[in-house]
């Protein structure tokens, strides 16, 4: 139990129940009765065979509304029935025996509530005696009556859900005792309100606060704790991801940062391709696409791309942004980046939004590929040809986010030419005269 409180005030261990003649009261009430070592569990009876009960007047109740945790008490105890949610008089002469051998009368038995952030916790069979100065919460009874654990530390104590280990109530204890803090002086009042909100929230199928508030306000009682209501089941069943912040950063020069991703096709191409690798330059938004037969081909493709950039542009690649896929996060890729001094930026697992630019260019490319195939009435297995055309067209079209400059213009320094463009899938006549078997064979 808490130290620093006189035994006659705080009911130290051995809070046993005895009648006026000193006999153990057994098998009688509906209380949590304390246990004397070597004796069966005792309980207060609804009536006693001997003597009139002692019921003090309200002026005789001197205990305050504060509650304190006690690891030695065998039952919850209060000084005033007004501190409980409900209490009824006990018609018995049973008494509470404390550590120094003295005893106190029991006038009422009732129940109270314990503060909790989500699930309601109750204190059953609380013994009321006017001689008590400190209201006590029996840790043993609390953990038996509710699916919780209590952990004490140098700063205070925590009541946790025994199954999920979620903290239901936390109290700091600056003094020698472990007080139970609540919004008011009484534990019963705020928890009666909270229990009502929790009950109706569950009955109505766990609606949100905006839906619950007008319903509760239509009742005859007032629930001022609606906005403070939390529900553990709602956290498990309705948890959503917070929105991602929009990045406005743009690279200052070509190949300062490149984004890459791999897309999987459910239709194998006529040449056996099932994937393609996309690479996007953050500065110019220029895009390169490379069809792949296996995801593992990404290593060889990126190695060749490094050589291409070094030879054609004379620039190093400063940083590479990819998702957490195994085609990127492997020893071969890490060795390649380490050799060129490139910073490797990986997204968090299941967070493709952090590689948003690569995801968006994949959507743009795939939309264009599908549209080209549908317009040309070409089977889906020819998607690599449509992909090459889509990449070319995206690179020569104005980019709104880059001041309506085409990616080709920003990367190569010259505006693109549209003179040789033709519709994808249009009819053409290739000249085959040089390979014709004889002079009378078709020339195209």
- Known catalytic residues? 70
Cβ atoms of 4 and 177 within 8 Å: the answer is yes
Alpha-carbon span 249 to 150, nearest angstrom: 49
**E strand spans, 173-255:** 179-180
DSSP letter string, 84-109: SSEEEE-BS--EEE-TTS-EEE--EE
Alpha-carbon span 14 to 16, nearest angstrom: 5
Alpha-carbon span 96 to 188, nearest angstrom: 23
Which token pair is 23?
């006999």
Alpha-carbon span 274 to 268, nearest angstrom: 5
What secondary structure, in 3-state letters, does 138-176 show? EHHHHHHHCCEEEEECCCEEEEEECCCCCEEEEEECCCC
Give the residue among 52, 50, 70, 205 at the shortest CA–CA distance from 127.
Answer: 70
Cβ atoms of 276 and 290 within 8 Å: the answer is yes
**Residue 157 phi, psi dihedral angles, 5° rounding:** -145, 160
Beta bridge partners of 287: 280
Alpha-carbon span 343 to 82, nearest angstrom: 67
Alpha-carbon span 108 to 63, nearest angstrom: 14
């Amino acid at each position: 139990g808490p130290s620093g409180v006189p035994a006659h005030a705080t009911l130290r261990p051995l809070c046993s129940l005895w009648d006026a003649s000193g006999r153990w009261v057994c098998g009688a009430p509906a209380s949590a009765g304390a246990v004397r070592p070597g004796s069966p569990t005792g309980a207060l009876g609804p009536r006693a065979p001997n003597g009139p009960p002692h019921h003090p007047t309200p002026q005789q109740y001197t205990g305050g509304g504060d509650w304190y945790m006690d690891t030695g008490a065998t039952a919850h105890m209060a000084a005033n029935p007004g501190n409980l949610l409900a209490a009824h008089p006990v018609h018995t002469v049973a008494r509470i025996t404390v550590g120094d051998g003295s005893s106190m009368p029991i006038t009422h038995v009732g129940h109270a509530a314990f503060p909790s952030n989500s699930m309601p916790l109750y204190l059953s069979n609380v013994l009321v005696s006017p001689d008590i100065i400190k209201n006590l919460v029996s840790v043993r009874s609390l953990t038996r009556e509710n699916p919780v654990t209590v952990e004490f530390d140098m700063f205070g104590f925590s009541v946790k859900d025994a199954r999920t280990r979620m903290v239901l109530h936390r109290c700091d204890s600056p003094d020698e005792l472990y007080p139970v803090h609540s919004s008011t002086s009484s534990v019963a009042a705020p928890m009666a309100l909270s229990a009502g909100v929790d009950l109706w929230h569950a009955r109505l199928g766990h609606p949100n606060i905006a839906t619950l508030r007008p319903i509760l306000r239509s009742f005859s009682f007032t629930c001022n704790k609606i906005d403070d209501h939390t529900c553990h089941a709602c956290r498990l069943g309705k948890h959503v991801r917070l929105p991602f912040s929009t990045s406005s950063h743009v690279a200052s020069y070509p190949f300062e940062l490149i984004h890459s991703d791999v897309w999987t096709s459910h239709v194998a191409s006529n040449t056996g391709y099932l994937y393609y690798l996309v690479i996007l330059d953050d500065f110019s938004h220029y895009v390169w696409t490379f069809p792949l037969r296996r995801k593992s081909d990404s290593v060889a493709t990126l190695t060749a791309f490094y050589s291409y950039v070094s030879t054609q542009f004379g620039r190093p690649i400063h940083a590479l942004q990819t998702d957490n896929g195994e085609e990127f996060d492997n020893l071969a890729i890490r060795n390649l980046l380490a050799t060129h001094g490139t910073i490797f930026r990986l997204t968090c697992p299941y967070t493709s939004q952090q590689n948003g630019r690569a995801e968006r260019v994949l959507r743009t490319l795939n939309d264009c590929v599908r549209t080209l195939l549908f317009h040309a009435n070409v089977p889906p297995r020819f998607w690599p040809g449509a992909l090459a055309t889509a990449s070319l067209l995206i690179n020569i079209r104005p980019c709104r986010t880059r001041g309506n400059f085409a990616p080709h213009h920003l990367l190569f320094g010259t505006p693109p030419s549209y003179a040789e463009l033709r519709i994808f899938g249009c009819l053409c006549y290739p000249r085959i005269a040089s390979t014709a078997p004889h002079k009378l064979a078709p020339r195209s």
